[in-house]
Structure 1
């Protein structure tokens, strides 16, 4: 698929930021997006919590520093302050999105949904899964047909597919993937749950 037009890009960015703000509301309300009755959710945000907190702290320190430097220019001070505070909100929103949008296993529908914040939603039918295993990786090379969704620079679960599924990028580019690597706070629980769901979903 071709790259989005210059007109479409602002729309994509606005939609992205609205979804981040919605994630903040869900986080405050302690709600989970996409959870289904009879299904299971698997978080992956724990590994990035400290890094996100550190980044937000750096942004806050920068905001304070710029406020001091621009105190004699009120207009510039107010503009920069709003931008800096909004940056902090977006950083926290990214973490909130990772918390409220976990991986979802829906045995009734026969689907495993692999996610990464508001950027990635890959639907994997259980019948297409050839194997699923725990596999800790801290380095990843971009390879055709593979999707690596690292958290804190690591993935801990590898899903190999008998048939490819479609991954849609942030800007709408579609490509088929046969291997999906992701992170889970409890990779063993995710692997076991998927294996049980596959056995229950298998055709006799």
Structure 2
């Protein structure tokens, strides 16, 4: 029952993201500075949607004489196209957000992690390839790559898709403008806890 609830909630959020995308609106960015991460994956996602469309037309022609299989496959194919477009939409309308006191990292509707700025010990622009999952590390890559690395003084709780808790001390994620995000995050951290003056 819990799994069904999680899946239904996921689908509703995906479709809601599609509506926001069509309306050219964003989710959860009020009062913060948004940093997108979906720019590079757009052509790939729309290419995949086009392939699904070709398959839909092909299967529709092949199964036109079998009413029930035709209806079932047509529904599944159309839903797949909607799902692919909605996934891209979710990535666009749910960007990372630098808020007052927090950095909110997101990945479509699957990840929404708030990291208090005071827990961040270091931030750097670093191009990395996503590899095997490691304990205490969260990778939010796009195209199997991340561009920003955060190290934390204390772990933050991250809950997986089905609710399992993971304590995260190192976060690697992608941002379209990684340099600007690192600069803004550094300024926000220094504004909250100014660095001591260097000795002359």
1:55 is displaced (CA, Å) by: 1.1
RMSD: 1.1
- Offset at 1:189? 0.7
Give the TM-score normalised by the residue count of structure 1: 0.93
CA distance in 2, matches of 1:158, 1:152: 16
Is 1:9 paired with 2:9?
no
Partner of 2:179: 188
Q: More relative contact order in 1 or in 2 (CA 8 Å, sep 6+)?
A: 1
CA apart distance, 1:29: 1.0
- Show the counterpart of 2:50: 57
Match of 1:104 in 2: 97
Deviation at 1:10, TM superposition (A): 1.4
Over residues 48-87 of structure 1, what are the superposed CA-to-partner deviations in whole Å (9 max), with x where a residue is unaligned? 1111011111111111111111011022111210111011
Deviation digits for residues 141-170 of structure 1, max 9, x if unmatched?
Answer: 211000001111110000110111011100
The DSSP-based 3-state class of the residue aligned with 1:161 is strand
Structure 2 Cα separation of the partners of residues 191 and 138 of structure 1: 19
Structure 1 moving runs of 4+ over 3 Å: none
Report deviation, 1:203.
6.7
What CA distance in whole angstroms lies between the structure 2 residues aligned with 1:41 and 1:125?
16
Tell me how far 1:138 sits from its aligned partner. Answer: 2.0
Question: Partner residue of 1:90?
Answer: 83
| Gap runs ≥5 in structure 1 | 1-6
Match in the other structure for 2:149: 158
| Structure 2 residue 13 is the aligned partner of structure 1 residue 19 | yes
Q: 2:138 aligns with which of 147, 153, 156?
A: 147
Q: Quote the Cα distance in structure 2 between the aligned partners of 1:86 and 1:67.
A: 14
Task: Return the match for 2:189 from 188, 198, 201.
Answer: 198
1:78 and 2:71 aligned: yes
| TM-fit CA distance, 1:35 | 0.7
Give the TM-score of the pair, scaled to structure 2: 0.95
TM-superposed CA distance for 1:9, in Å, is 1.1
1:129 to 120, 126, 129: 120
